[in-house]
């Protein structure tokens, strides 16, 4: 039994070095939670309204000859607390999760986590940078990315969250057309 504990400790320490400095973890059997804070680039809590798109990837165990395995994504929105803190449950059946952070006037931030044996809880503090060219950022990156979740039914996003995305995109379009 002692050798099992040493092996578990070794795996945790070995895989723990694979993450950036903005990510901390607690040991455990498998990744269950992701928590953190949404911050400005300066390190202060983000003041404007924000939300997180959570993409969970589920293995379908379909693999064609010499190709990668097929993953079925499922998407939902998370709205952090006013102080920027969030806690996301990592579904036990999902093999990977991607978090995409959004706020008006800021560049979108993305981070992807794979379920890891030996890492039970992740802490990730996302830092959003103020966009110097928000209009271009919105038209070229943000809008097409978010519209995909409204148009594509394969993501299985709830209707109420699709409506929220549509309303948010419309209000941002109005803001950038008023600037001209």
Alpha carbon 71 to its chain's center: 17
Confidence class of residue 80 from pLDDT cuts 50, 70 and 90? very high
pTM of the model: 0.79
Burial, 126: exposed, middle or buried (Cβ in 10 Å; 0-12, 13-18, 19+)? Answer: buried
pLDDT above 60: residue 180:
no
How much is the average pLDDT of 36-53? 88
User: In 10 A of CB 177, how many CB atoms?
Assistant: 9
Can you identify the CATH homologous superfamily of domain 2-130?
A: Carboxypeptidase-like, regulatory domain (2.60.40.1120)
């Amino acid at each position: 039994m002692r050798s099992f504990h040493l092996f578990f400790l070794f795996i945790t320490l070995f895989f723990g070095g694979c993450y950036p400095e903005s990510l901390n973890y607690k040991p455990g059997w498998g990744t269950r939670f992701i928590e953190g804070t949404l911050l400005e680039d300066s390190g202060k809590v983000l003041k404007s309204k924000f939300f997180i798109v959570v993409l969970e990837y589920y293995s379908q165990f379909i693999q064609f000859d010499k190709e990668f395995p097929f993953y079925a994504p499922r998407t939902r929105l998370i709205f952090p607390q006013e102080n920027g803190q969030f806690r996301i449950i990592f579904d036990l059946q999902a093999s990977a999760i991607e978090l995409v952070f959004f706020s008006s006037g800021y560049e979108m931030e993305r981070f992807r986590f794979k379920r890891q044996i030996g890492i039970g809880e992740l802490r990730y503090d996302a830092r959003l940078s103020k966009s110097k060219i928000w209009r271009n950022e919105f038209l070229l990156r943000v809008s097409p990315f978010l519209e995909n979740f409204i148009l594509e039914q394969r993501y299985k996003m709830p209707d109420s969250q699709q409506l929220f995305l549509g309303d948010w995109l419309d209000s941002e379009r109005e803001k950038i057309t008023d600037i001209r």
